[in-house]
Amino acid sequence: MIGIILLFFFLSFFVPGVLEHVIANSGPNNLYSSELAAMIFAFTLVVILGIAIIVLTYEPTKVYDVLLVKTPDGIPIATKQKLFQSDEVLISGFFTAISSVSKELDEDHKADLRSIKRGEREIIIEDGVFTRIIALADRDQSKIRQAVVNMQRRFESIHSKILSSWVGDRSAIPEAKNFVESVGRLEIRFDIPQQTRWIGVLTLILTPLMIILISFI
Protein backbone atom coordinates (compact mmCIF):
# COMPACT_ATOMS: atom_id res chain seq x y z
CA MET A 1 0.00 0.00 0.00
CA ILE A 2 2.85 2.45 0.83
CA GLY A 3 4.44 1.72 -2.52
CA ILE A 4 1.17 2.43 -4.34
CA ILE A 5 0.77 5.77 -2.53
CA LEU A 6 4.35 6.78 -3.34
CA LEU A 7 3.85 5.84 -6.98
CA PHE A 8 0.64 7.87 -7.09
CA PHE A 9 2.32 11.03 -5.76
CA PHE A 10 5.32 10.51 -8.03
CA LEU A 11 3.18 10.26 -11.17
CA SER A 12 0.73 13.01 -10.18
CA PHE A 13 3.01 15.67 -8.74
CA PHE A 14 6.75 15.21 -9.19
CA VAL A 15 6.86 14.06 -12.82
CA PRO A 16 4.36 16.68 -14.12
CA GLY A 17 6.11 19.45 -12.21
CA VAL A 18 9.57 18.63 -13.56
CA LEU A 19 8.43 18.12 -17.15
CA GLU A 20 6.28 21.24 -17.17
CA HIS A 21 9.23 23.30 -15.93
CA VAL A 22 11.40 21.90 -18.72
CA ILE A 23 8.80 22.63 -21.41
CA ALA A 24 8.08 26.15 -20.16
CA ASN A 25 11.78 27.05 -20.33
CA SER A 26 12.89 25.16 -23.42
CA GLY A 27 11.78 27.51 -26.23
CA PRO A 28 11.04 31.14 -27.13
CA ASN A 29 8.10 32.57 -25.20
CA ASN A 30 6.69 34.21 -28.34
CA LEU A 31 5.92 30.87 -29.95
CA TYR A 32 3.31 29.80 -27.44
CA SER A 33 2.21 30.72 -23.97
CA SER A 34 3.11 28.59 -20.97
CA GLU A 35 -0.62 28.02 -20.39
CA LEU A 36 -1.10 26.49 -23.84
CA ALA A 37 2.03 24.40 -23.42
CA ALA A 38 0.67 23.14 -20.11
CA MET A 39 -2.64 22.04 -21.62
CA ILE A 40 -0.99 20.31 -24.58
CA PHE A 41 1.46 18.54 -22.32
CA ALA A 42 -1.29 17.56 -19.90
CA PHE A 43 -3.20 15.81 -22.66
CA THR A 44 -0.08 14.06 -23.92
CA LEU A 45 0.95 12.91 -20.45
CA VAL A 46 -2.53 11.55 -19.71
CA VAL A 47 -2.31 9.39 -22.83
CA ILE A 48 1.18 8.18 -21.88
CA LEU A 49 0.15 7.37 -18.32
CA GLY A 50 -2.96 5.55 -19.52
CA ILE A 51 -0.87 3.36 -21.82
CA ALA A 52 1.69 2.76 -19.05
CA ILE A 53 -0.99 1.65 -16.59
CA ILE A 54 -2.44 -0.79 -19.14
CA VAL A 55 0.98 -2.25 -19.94
CA LEU A 56 2.06 -2.56 -16.30
CA THR A 57 -1.17 -4.27 -15.26
CA TYR A 58 -1.36 -6.69 -18.19
CA GLU A 59 -1.51 -10.09 -16.49
CA PRO A 60 -3.30 -12.71 -18.58
CA THR A 61 -4.55 -15.70 -16.61
CA LYS A 62 -5.12 -19.17 -17.98
CA VAL A 63 -6.45 -22.36 -16.39
CA TYR A 64 -4.40 -25.50 -17.01
CA ASP A 65 -5.60 -28.41 -14.87
CA VAL A 66 -9.06 -29.03 -13.42
CA LEU A 67 -10.26 -31.62 -10.93
CA LEU A 68 -13.95 -31.95 -10.05
CA VAL A 69 -14.63 -33.92 -6.87
CA LYS A 70 -17.68 -34.81 -4.82
CA THR A 71 -17.91 -33.20 -1.41
CA PRO A 72 -17.49 -33.93 1.41
CA ASP A 73 -15.94 -37.35 0.70
CA GLY A 74 -13.60 -36.15 -2.07
CA ILE A 75 -14.35 -38.79 -4.70
CA PRO A 76 -13.08 -37.63 -8.13
CA ILE A 77 -15.86 -37.09 -10.68
CA ALA A 78 -13.84 -35.87 -13.68
CA THR A 79 -10.41 -34.43 -14.36
CA LYS A 80 -8.35 -32.60 -16.94
CA GLN A 81 -4.66 -33.02 -16.17
CA LYS A 82 -1.85 -31.29 -18.00
CA LEU A 83 0.64 -30.16 -15.36
CA PHE A 84 -0.50 -32.17 -12.34
CA GLN A 85 1.69 -35.25 -12.10
CA SER A 86 -0.03 -37.10 -9.25
CA ASP A 87 -2.96 -39.48 -9.47
CA GLU A 88 -6.35 -37.77 -9.29
CA VAL A 89 -7.29 -39.76 -6.18
CA LEU A 90 -4.15 -38.61 -4.38
CA ILE A 91 -4.76 -34.99 -5.42
CA SER A 92 -8.37 -35.13 -4.28
CA GLY A 93 -7.44 -36.74 -0.97
CA PHE A 94 -4.72 -34.18 -0.35
CA PHE A 95 -7.02 -31.20 -0.81
CA THR A 96 -9.80 -32.84 1.19
CA ALA A 97 -7.37 -33.29 4.09
CA ILE A 98 -6.00 -29.75 3.77
CA SER A 99 -9.54 -28.32 3.70
CA SER A 100 -10.43 -30.26 6.86
CA VAL A 101 -7.32 -29.01 8.64
CA SER A 102 -8.12 -25.44 7.56
CA LYS A 103 -11.56 -25.67 9.14
CA GLU A 104 -10.18 -27.23 12.30
CA LEU A 105 -7.82 -24.29 12.75
CA ASP A 106 -10.77 -21.90 12.57
CA GLU A 107 -12.73 -21.36 15.79
CA ASP A 108 -16.08 -21.56 13.98
CA HIS A 109 -14.94 -24.47 11.76
CA LYS A 110 -16.15 -22.56 8.69
CA ALA A 111 -12.93 -21.33 7.11
CA ASP A 112 -12.62 -22.75 3.59
CA LEU A 113 -9.27 -23.09 1.88
CA ARG A 114 -9.48 -20.80 -1.14
CA SER A 115 -6.12 -21.05 -2.90
CA ILE A 116 -2.61 -22.45 -2.64
CA LYS A 117 0.55 -21.03 -4.20
CA ARG A 118 2.37 -23.59 -6.33
CA GLY A 119 5.60 -22.20 -7.74
CA GLU A 120 4.74 -19.46 -10.21
CA ARG A 121 1.09 -20.54 -10.39
CA GLU A 122 -1.84 -20.81 -7.99
CA ILE A 123 -4.32 -23.55 -7.27
CA ILE A 124 -7.87 -22.19 -7.08
CA ILE A 125 -10.24 -24.09 -4.81
CA GLU A 126 -13.96 -23.44 -4.98
CA ASP A 127 -16.62 -25.36 -3.03
CA GLY A 128 -20.16 -25.58 -4.33
CA VAL A 129 -23.17 -27.36 -2.85
CA PHE A 130 -22.21 -30.85 -4.04
CA THR A 131 -18.79 -30.45 -5.62
CA ARG A 132 -15.34 -28.94 -5.21
CA ILE A 133 -13.34 -27.58 -8.14
CA ILE A 134 -9.55 -27.64 -7.94
CA ALA A 135 -8.06 -25.61 -10.79
CA LEU A 136 -4.42 -24.82 -11.51
CA ALA A 137 -4.12 -21.33 -13.03
CA ASP A 138 -1.53 -18.63 -13.54
CA ARG A 139 -2.98 -16.64 -10.64
CA ASP A 140 -6.11 -16.41 -8.51
CA GLN A 141 -7.81 -13.46 -10.19
CA SER A 142 -11.32 -12.38 -9.28
CA LYS A 143 -12.60 -12.70 -12.86
CA ILE A 144 -11.26 -16.20 -13.36
CA ARG A 145 -12.67 -17.34 -10.00
CA GLN A 146 -16.07 -15.82 -10.75
CA ALA A 147 -16.14 -17.59 -14.10
CA VAL A 148 -15.38 -20.89 -12.33
CA VAL A 149 -18.12 -20.25 -9.76
CA ASN A 150 -20.71 -19.45 -12.43
CA MET A 151 -19.92 -22.59 -14.39
CA GLN A 152 -19.97 -24.69 -11.23
CA ARG A 153 -23.37 -23.35 -10.22
CA ARG A 154 -24.86 -24.13 -13.63
CA PHE A 155 -23.41 -27.65 -13.60
CA GLU A 156 -24.73 -28.38 -10.11
CA SER A 157 -28.13 -26.91 -10.94
CA ILE A 158 -28.51 -29.19 -13.97
CA HIS A 159 -27.26 -32.35 -12.20
CA SER A 160 -28.40 -31.66 -8.64
CA LYS A 161 -30.52 -34.82 -8.34
CA ILE A 162 -27.73 -37.10 -9.47
CA LEU A 163 -25.04 -35.29 -7.45
CA SER A 164 -27.06 -35.43 -4.24
CA SER A 165 -26.84 -39.23 -4.19
CA TRP A 166 -23.75 -39.83 -6.33
CA VAL A 167 -21.33 -42.42 -4.91
CA GLY A 168 -18.76 -42.90 -7.64
CA ASP A 169 -20.46 -44.07 -10.83
CA ARG A 170 -18.94 -41.80 -13.48
CA SER A 171 -21.23 -43.11 -16.19
CA ALA A 172 -24.13 -41.46 -14.35
CA ILE A 173 -22.67 -38.00 -15.14
CA PRO A 174 -21.11 -38.24 -18.62
CA GLU A 175 -21.33 -34.44 -19.00
CA ALA A 176 -18.75 -34.00 -16.21
CA LYS A 177 -15.87 -34.61 -18.63
CA ASN A 178 -17.05 -31.85 -20.95
CA PHE A 179 -17.53 -29.61 -17.93
CA VAL A 180 -13.92 -29.88 -16.72
CA GLU A 181 -12.70 -29.42 -20.28
CA SER A 182 -14.72 -26.17 -20.48
CA VAL A 183 -13.29 -24.93 -17.19
CA GLY A 184 -9.82 -25.86 -18.42
CA ARG A 185 -10.26 -23.56 -21.42
CA LEU A 186 -10.96 -20.49 -19.29
CA GLU A 187 -8.66 -17.60 -20.00
CA ILE A 188 -8.69 -13.96 -18.89
CA ARG A 189 -6.68 -11.87 -21.31
CA PHE A 190 -6.78 -8.66 -19.31
CA ASP A 191 -7.68 -7.71 -15.76
CA ILE A 192 -6.81 -4.54 -13.84
CA PRO A 193 -6.75 -4.93 -10.02
CA GLN A 194 -9.04 -2.62 -8.09
CA GLN A 195 -6.16 -0.72 -6.43
CA THR A 196 -4.55 -0.10 -9.81
CA ARG A 197 -7.84 1.21 -11.19
CA TRP A 198 -8.09 3.78 -8.40
CA ILE A 199 -4.49 4.96 -8.75
CA GLY A 200 -4.97 5.20 -12.51
CA VAL A 201 -8.16 7.25 -12.24
CA LEU A 202 -6.75 9.62 -9.60
CA THR A 203 -3.49 10.05 -11.51
CA LEU A 204 -5.22 10.80 -14.80
CA ILE A 205 -7.47 13.37 -13.08
CA LEU A 206 -4.86 15.15 -10.96
CA THR A 207 -1.93 15.11 -13.40
CA PRO A 208 -3.38 17.60 -15.95
CA LEU A 209 -4.75 19.77 -13.14
CA MET A 210 -1.30 19.96 -11.52
CA ILE A 211 0.37 20.81 -14.85
CA ILE A 212 -2.10 23.61 -15.59
CA LEU A 213 -1.81 24.91 -12.01
CA ILE A 214 1.98 24.96 -12.19
CA SER A 215 1.84 26.98 -15.41
CA PHE A 216 0.10 29.83 -13.58
CA ILE A 217 2.58 29.91 -10.72
What's this model's pTM, rounded to 2 decimal places? Answer: 0.61
Answer whether CATH 3.40.50.10470 is correct for domain 61-188.
no
| Whether pLDDT at 24 is above 50 | yes
Rounded Cα–Cα distance for residues 217 and 215 (Å):
6
Per DSSP, the three-state class of 83 is coil
Average pLDDT over residues 170-185: 92
Q: Where are the domains of the chain?
A: 2-57+192-215, 61-188
Per-residue model confidence (pLDDT) at position 30:
44
Q: Which of 40, 4, 1 shows the shortest CA–CA distance to 201?
A: 4
Average pLDDT over residues 180-189: 88
| Whether pLDDT at 74 is above 60 | yes
CA 45 distance to own-chain centroid: 27
